[in-house]
A = this chain, B = another copy of it.
Amino acid sequence: MEQQATKTDETEAHAGAPESVAMPEPMTIHDEEGGLDRDFVATVRDAVDAENGTALRDLVEDLHEADLGDLLQALTPEQRDGFVRLLGRDFDWLALTEVDESVREKILASIPNETIAQVVRELEPDDAVEIIANLDEEDREEVLAGIPIAERIAFERSLDYPENSAGRRMTTKFIAVPPFWTVGQATDFLRGNSRLPEEFTEIYVVDPRFCFLGTVPLNRLLRAGAEERIEDIKGEVDYAIHATDDQEDAARLFERYNLLSAGIVDENNRLVGVITVDDMVDVIEAAAEQEMRRLAGVGDEELSDSVVYSVRSRFWWLLVNLFTAILASSVIGLFDNVIQQMVALAVLMPIVASMGGNAGTQTMTLAVRALSTRDIKAIRPGRFVRREVTVGLINGVLFAILMGAIAGLWFGRLEVGLLIASAMIVNMIAAALAGILIPLALFSVGADPAIASTVFVTTVTDCVGFFAFLGLATLWIH
């Protein structure tokens, strides 16, 4: 922890120095953690509130789109509209690709469709598609109608791909060369061309029918002799990403094969676009985040969403949990006689359930993760089940001894200790089995294990915990 503090200080000292040299204004834009400086945000707010377009322009004109996005997020909805309006043509529309969906929707709603139609033509195709996709049906039609047909067709084709497909993430602006060209021809082509993508790291080799043959990373192009032929230096592509593939599958290939960019093909192996790693980084992070949220039942909620949206999105998960909690309670209800005879049972029973719930969550988290990274195939489910049951049994015995002793002393009765110890062992084994088998079962029927496992696992550990503890107590009392 201390180390982290030291490091942060260094970053600050360092990040501050080159900026103050390079820029005339004395304003600090970033704080020590790389986020936006609080005073800077306040100054921007004031400029917006004062409708001072000149001051605003001076403040934000050099900002990176990511910083501009953060800035938009920090403003109130009214300020955001004012911000975009005051900047006018100087507003960097890329910032819209960096904000939450709900923020983007609201900003777009305040802008005339003709302006949007003009703006998207200046963006890279993948960014433009992201913005158009966020408009509602009617606005989308109107915006598309305002774009010349040649460009419109490309947008429409991208929009035809399903929402989370690779096709939606690809740019249609890339460099394709025939295999029979020489390196010299390719280099001249790059040098003389003004319509190249802004940044690129490789060029793509296609045959006359635009079938995808391979890629040439720029460093290989630079190192090759001018007379060498493209087909002789091109790299083989031993994976294929279809435009209709899920973007998470595409991201997994990027991660696995350390790709910087990849050609995207249609059903006839024709090159239709290119995906770059920066987009895949976002997909990878979003996928891991989504899994975490799903395990906790908060879905796709964002901090900037409205209260109504949050209430609704969480309500369903809580409702499911209410019914499973009632189910567990009805297990307790079966044993109300024995509880009346010995109130100690009511005091101790949540401990059995809670320990089972936690042990089950541990196993479940490993299982869900292993399923989504496909690691579980490498280790094989059978081995995983045996392993988890063994871990559950050992920890079950350890905690049975510990809790048995505590309970025995607490209530001054050895039998109470033995009772909770036995129930604890039973529930820890049940937890291990539920923690692994429930995600596996959900996965095998095609459901997302992250979305429902938590509910099922804790239902099992609650019910088994209460049943084992109170059931054993009944046997022993009668």
Interface size bracket, A side: 35 or more
**Contact A332 B347, beta carbon cutoff 8 Å:** yes
A:53-91 near B, CB below 8 Å: 64, 66, 70, 73-74
Known contacts being A222-B190, A281-B281, is A296 close to B365, with CB within 8 Å?
yes
Summarize A's interface: helix, strand, loop or mixed. Answer: helix
Interface status of A217 (Cβ within 8 A of chain B): yes
From B196, B292, B350, B359, A314 is in contact (CB under 8 Å) with: B359
Nearest CB on B from A144, distance (A): 25
Q: Which of A111-119, A128-136, A145-153, A335-343 contacts B (4 or more CB under 8 A)?
A: A335-343
Q: Is A108 an interface residue (CB 8 A)?
A: no
A209 in contact (CB, < 8 A): no
Q: Is the CB of A325 within 8 A of B355?
A: yes
Quick one: which of B249, B314, B398 contacts A362, CB cutoff 8 A? B314
> Please, which residues of chain B bring their CB within 8 A of the CB of A138?
none
Q: List residues 329-362 of chain A with CB under 8 A from any CB of chain B.
A: 329-330, 332-333, 336, 339-340, 343-344, 346-351, 353-355, 358-359, 361-362
In the complex, A105 has a CB within 8 A of chain B: no
Contact call A11/B245, Cβ cutoff below 8 A: yes
Q: Is residue A378 within 8 Å, beta carbon to beta carbon, of the partner chain?
A: yes
Report how far A329 CA is from B394 CA in the complex, Å. 24
Q: Which residues of B contact A369 (CB under 8 A)?
A: 289, 292-293
Query: Given the interface contacts A257-B64, A295-B292, A301-B366, does A187 sit within 8 Å of B222 by beta carbon?
Result: yes
A390 on the B face (CB < 8 A)? yes
Please report the C-alpha to C-alpha distance between residue A318 and residue B399 in the assembled complex, in whole angstroms.
9
* A441 CB within 8 Å of chain B: no
Q: Does A422 contact B (CB under 8 A)?
A: no
- Nearest neighbor of A284 in chain B, beta-carbon distance: B285
Q: Which residues of B contact A244 (CB under 8 A)?
A: 7, 10
Residue of B11, B277, B295 near A260 (CB, 8 A) is B277
Query: A391 to chain B: which residues have CB within 8 Å?
Result: 307, 310-311, 314
A322 touching B242, Cβ below 8 Å: no
B7 touches A249 (CB 8 A): yes
Whether B329 lies near A348 (C-beta < 8 A) is yes
Please name all residues of chain B whose beta carbon is closer than 8 Å to the beta carbon of A301 when the two chains form the complex: 366
The interface bits of chain A over 239-257 (1 if a CB of B lies within 8 angstroms of the residue's CB, else 0) are 1101011100100111111
Asked if A249 and B343 sit within 8 Å, CB to CB, the answer is no
Interface members, chain A 375-392 (any B CB < 8 Å)? 375-380, 384, 387, 390-391
Q: Is A282 an interface residue (CB 8 A)?
A: yes
Interface: A24 (CB within 8 A): no
Q: Within the assembled complex, what's the spacing in Å between the Cα atoms of A5 and B355? A: 37
Complex contact B239–A15 (CB within 8 A):
yes
Chain B: minimal CB distance from A163 (Å): 10
A5 to B238, CA, bound (A): 22
Please report the C-alpha to C-alpha distance between residue A434 and residue B126 in the assembled complex, in whole angstroms: 41
